Structure 1
């Protein structure tokens, strides 16, 4: 049975060391060299086991994955008291925030595992916000898949957007992606001429793909939802298959 290969990749942004990972599965489903590559942007908990697990499944399905390290030094905060200041430091300095995403993109552009492949951004939670914000400010990629992103973190100036299809997966009851926020994003994407689709899951709040939220103290705000998580995964893998170039 083909085994995944995990490779550490260090890169820099404004003097901060970022510690990303490349995960591939040579000889398996990844034998199709036209399958889309994935730049995965982690959730608020950083580049930890959950994100690595998702990336491993994608690699086994044929998509090489680069996991960005947005927090730097592969930090994996474990509590709201740690996460809040980290997110705040990015939203207060968007050049720094998006510069870190761009630095990861630059690594992908020079990595031979991704040469000749369409590239998709895949972000969870804060990572989904990061992917959409990067698109808003000019990123040119094949697609952006955002899983329960905080739409409240996005800027509203879409005058210089990038390119790429958009897949949004969110809970109908997510307080960080309200109907008004979703409607506003849809208007921006339409005005920018960007192909897009929204998957809205009923009875679902924020962070619904994360098993860490299974025992949520505030389920009305964030909670794991196994059915919605499975639907989002199926939507994500279908989206990546759609982006992949046809085999020659």
Structure 2
């Protein structure tokens, strides 16, 4: 009897571990091979809420993986998108700036890569009508582009992301709820760009929030960014924790669990 209990316990533990394990997923955009990551929730839910993560400008990093694991424990299906694809991963900041700049300019290509990743999240088990898209830095820009491109998401969250878009582009209605978590001292977003973005949200009749975090600059959620604010990008533990709490409140409002 003791041996039987041990076997049953081992099976249950194994199942839990597999269900909440981060796994690589290879998928394609045409001939371009992409390598994302998926993780299932640690507990099942009939509503199957899902979250798509768009990484910062260097591609899939520790922050996006750690966030995915944390969200899995909270009961979400999660997929981390690979925007660049094999053969295009930047080796340094200069390369990252160049390739990220391409997608910022060619927003349709960016929206397409996000849409393809969204399909992977749904294939992994998420309810297509119960999804939030989030992003960090360059990924935060992508999250806003997902809203502008009318991708099927209940909510959009940008952590210290770029806010601007070409002024020649028309402003269309935005149906997804939007949360922007922004460093109050971020040097990469001008007052003019912030004002223009906020007006865009009003014109789009969006349900939006923008929360500022004191003493925080760009990349304030990423521990790998150092702590020197004078460099323009730095980790701020208090801002990171506060923004994650605001994010969780947003999820509780937007998604069914």
The TM-score range, normalised by the shorter chain, is 0.7 to 0.9
Q: CA deviation at 1:140?
A: 3.0
The TM-score, its normalising length taken from structure 1, stands at 0.87
1:144-163 matched pairs, under 5 angstroms: 144-152=156-164, 154-156=165-167, 157-163=169-175
Query: Is 1:244 aligned with 2:255?
Result: yes
Taking the aligned partners of 1:215 and 1:51, their CA distance within structure 2 comes to 19
Q: CA deviation at 1:223?
A: 1.1
CA distances 1:165-213 after superposition (whole Å, capped 9, x unpaired): 0000001111222333222112111111110111011211100111111
Query: Is 1:228 aligned with 2:239?
Result: yes
Q: SS of 1:224's equivalent?
A: coil
Q: CA deviation at 1:222?
A: 1.2
The one of 21, 28, 33 aligned to 1:17: 33
Query: Counterpart of 1:210?
Result: 222
Does structure 1 conserve the Cα–Cα contact (< 8 Å) formed by 2:107 and 2:145? Answer: no
Query: Counterpart of 2:52?
Result: 39
Query: Counterpart of 2:8?
Result: none
Does structure 2 conserve the Cα–Cα contact (< 8 Å) formed by 1:101 and 1:134? Answer: yes
Query: Counterpart of 2:184?
Result: 172
Query: Is 1:6 aligned with 2:22?
Result: yes
1:182-193 matched pairs, under 5 angstroms: 182-193=194-205
Q: CA deviation at 1:72?
A: 1.0
The TM-score, its normalising length taken from structure 2, stands at 0.85
Aligned residues: 240
1:127-142 matched pairs, under 5 angstroms: 127-142=139-154
Taking the aligned partners of 2:22 and 2:88, their CA distance within structure 1 comes to 18
Does structure 2 conserve the Cα–Cα contact (< 8 Å) formed by 1:121 and 1:144? Answer: yes
The RMSD of aligned alpha carbons is 2.2
What 5-or-longer segments of structure 2 have no aligned partner? 1-12
Q: SS of 1:105's equivalent?
A: helix
The one of 75, 78, 83 aligned to 1:70: 83
Query: Counterpart of 2:100?
Result: 87
Does structure 2 conserve the Cα–Cα contact (< 8 Å) formed by 1:47 and 1:76? Answer: no
My pick for the range that moved more, 156-165 or 63-72, is 156-165
Taking the aligned partners of 1:185 and 1:134, their CA distance within structure 2 comes to 15
Q: SS of 1:206's equivalent?
A: coil
